[in-house]
Structure 1
Amino acid sequence: MPIYLRATIDGEKSTIMNEEQSSLLERGRRCITIEAEALLATAQALDESFTAAVAILERTIRSGRKIIFSGVGKSAHIAQKLVGTFNSIGAPSCYLDPVNARHGDLGLCSEGDAAVLLSNSGTTEELVRLLPLLRRFGLVAVVLTGHPTSTLARAADATLAYRVPREACPLELAPTASSTAALALGDAVAMALLENRGFTKEDFARLHPAGNLGRTLLMRVSDVMRTGEHFPVLPHDKTIQDAIVAMTRAKAGCLALVEPADGRLAGVFTDGDFRRSALSGPDFLLAPVGRFMTRKPIVVAADALAVDALKIFEASKIDDLLVVDSEDRPVGLVDGQDLPRFHLV
């Protein structure tokens, strides 16, 4: 049966929602609501067990060891997703299949590593058998489960427990709210570790160099600034007329003014400064541009990150930003209109 009934009335198409679509929408909303309830219940139930688990994993990372995730079925998929998340925040992680572990894959375990075992019931046979083997290799164990008094939870060094009042599956069989809560709790641990370790955007970018985010975060001011004929520079004793000609040729909204003797930055002259200078008298075009420049303008270093330049734009509400070298000589100009082209806004 089609979800939509289409009718033509007076030559115009109209879409009528039928009962089947209404029912489907209600089922979808009910599923999402039930899963949201599980997330809220899990958040409210967090206690010292969460902090203990985070502390164990943080010690593992700081000691140069790795985190080994393991699970069966849906829990295996969640474990593998968490491996990707933890690796992306600089917490070396890998996935261990609990069956293959008993056939040679235990070789990836080293003393001092930490194991995170995912089991909704906390009684998954493969993991119950795996845990003592991990102990022999000197691993600490954290169990992520929906049952904090289960076999695995009691045997673990720390337990991450989520709360699921009910599954979204109408048969109460398919893991739905429980798998969502498990994933969210794992993400919560990852974000707590990220903040505790002072992990920055720059750290994140180094681990994601091929993605658009990585390219954006690693971009330097020197990569986005205007130079050469697009960057007007004049000694501050030149006339306003000279300044306007230079700005027009460069198609820039400002120019850098320098000391004639050493080329160090003296100030900046903007379109706004030009309008103000016009009020000084009929011969204003012949006046020294330095008389109307803005002294000590906001600047940024050429080797600074481009995102730092973006922060300056946002905080200062300016249109252009001068770029200087280590000797305070202007070397470029960042035009606020260029930032979208580099995906910085």
Structure 2
Amino acid sequence: MAAAPLRPFDPERALQLARQTFDIEAAALHGLKARQGDSFARTVETMLNCKGRVVVMGMGKSGHVGRKISATLASTGTPAMFVHPGEASHGDLGMVMPADVVLAISNSGDSDEIGAILPAIKRLGVTLVAMTGRSGSTLARHADLVLDSAVDQEACPLNLAPTASTTAQMALGDALAVALLDARGFREADFARSHPGGSLGRKLLMHVRDLMRSGDALPKVGPQASLNEVLREMTGKGLGFSAIVDDTDHVLGIFTDGDLRRLIEQEADLRGLNAEKVMHTGPKLVRSEDLAVDAADVMEKYRITSVLVVDETGRLVGALNSNDLMRAKVI
């Protein structure tokens, strides 16, 4: 149960401590930046060449940071997992294989739980990377590579609670992930494959063929169809346009509800018109294998709400409009 506050709440003091925390942690990151060198580069190279996984370990707050680091590595192209040091000494060390790299995180470098499994880790022959704030610690002495995460002080007014030190660890883990994804040539499409449920996944993994209207839902007529037939096709399929195709389904043109409005405004005689006379040629086309986000770009660029979809031979196979893209949350 939390102790009762010793003084009335002072909003000014709370704001002062918040600003002081930002200053201390910002200074810690600047110090961290200045100390990174050959050991950091060698760690990146070691993880890049790892044939297994990066196994991250840490106790307490360092463990929470370690879970985040392992998740970030895994989502950016570096196979990684978190193993709890306490559970490792009771069987979970069996998850670690000789081809792995172990990243052990401890600010003091003398965590009992990590210290207890250091001999077993060394016997496995894995490369051990220490992320620690003390270069002379037990963990640092046993490690093959040491990443210096030291901070001058914690943001905690008592200089006890892990605050600046965990910020430094988190930033150092992010720096490793960024350097590794760059070295791997990791790109947006790779990121999307590991995040299929997110908005980026939808944008980069969904293809036009996944969303397009096709078959009987596709509005199309031949060039000799009367204007009434064109209008019935447009109304029945509910897309506000109809494609005009030849006998082999190759696109000749398109007629839209906007074209109809323009004809009416011109007071044209509509009775003798057919599809060939009212269509406009050169409609915007996309391929069925294109990404849906690319189709959205075409619509935005040309300020249109629909596109026709063709296959690799140029045959009409579908149609896509902005509502389809919005329903799929591509736009």
Q: Report if TM-score (shorter chain) is over 0.5.
A: yes
Q: What is the match of residue 78 of structure 1?
A: 65
Question: What SS class does the counterpart of residue 24 from structure 1 fall into?
Answer: helix
Deviates more, 1:134-143 or 1:43-52: 43-52
Question: What SS class does the counterpart of residue 295 from structure 2 fall into?
Answer: helix
Shift in Å, 1:85: 2.7
Q: In the TM superposition, what whole-angstrom CA distance separates every residue of 1:137-180 from its partner, at most 9, and x where no partner exists?
A: 12112222334565544553333334635322111111112112
1:336 to 299, 322, 328: 322
2:39 to 42, 49, 73: 49
Q: In the TM superposition, what whole-angstrom CA distance separates every residue of 1:292-323 from its partner, at most 9, and x where no partner exists?
A: 64544433333444334334445554321222
CA change 1:110–1:270 in 2 (3 A) is same
Shift in Å, 1:342: 1.6
Q: What is the match of residue 222 of structure 2?
A: 235
Question: What SS class does the counterpart of residue 10 from structure 2 fall into?
Answer: helix
1:321 to 283, 298, 307: 307
Unaligned runs of 5+ in 2: 1-7
- Distance in 1, Cα, partners of 2:209 & 2:132: 49
Q: What is the match of residue 143 of structure 1?
A: 130
Q: How many residues align?
A: 324
CA change 1:44–1:248 in 2 (3 A) is farther
Question: What SS class does the counterpart of residue 181 from structure 2 fall into?
Answer: helix
- Distance in 2, Cα, partners of 1:45 & 1:266: 66
- Distance in 2, Cα, partners of 1:312 & 1:162: 48
- Opposite residue 337 of structure 1, the aligned amino acid is N
Alignment of 1:1-345 (within 5 A): 20-43=10-33, 45-60=35-50, 63=51, 65-147=52-134, 152-153=139-140, 155-162=142-149, 164-208=151-195, 218-227=205-214, 230-239=217-226, 242-259=229-246, 261-274=247-260, 282-283=268-269, 286-290=272-276, 293-345=279-331
CA change 1:271–1:26 in 2 (3 A) is farther
Q: What is the match of residue 8 of structure 1?
A: none
Q: Is the 8 A contact 2:211 2:320 kept in 1?
A: yes
Question: What SS class does the counterpart of residue 171 from structure 2 fall into?
Answer: helix
Deviates more, 1:209-218 or 1:24-33: 209-218
Aligned Cα RMSD in Å? 3.4
Unaligned runs of 5+ in 1: 1-17
TM-score, normalization by structure 2: 0.80
- Distance in 1, Cα, partners of 2:276 & 2:37: 63
- Distance in 2, Cα, partners of 1:41 & 1:256: 64
Deviates more, 1:277-286 or 1:305-314: 277-286
- Opposite residue 173 of structure 2, the aligned amino acid is G
Shift in Å, 1:205: 4.6
CA change 1:175–1:332 in 2 (3 A) is same
CA change 1:113–1:325 in 2 (3 A) is same
Deviates more, 1:241-250 or 1:276-285: 276-285
CA change 1:290–1:38 in 2 (3 A) is farther
- Distance in 1, Cα, partners of 2:119 & 2:145: 15
- Distance in 2, Cα, partners of 1:159 & 1:268: 66
- Distance in 1, Cα, partners of 2:255 & 2:27: 58
- Opposite residue 26 of structure 1, the aligned amino acid is Q
Task: Report % sequence identity.
Answer: 39
Q: Is the 8 A contact 1:114 1:142 kept in 2?
A: yes
Shift in Å, 1:53: 1.6
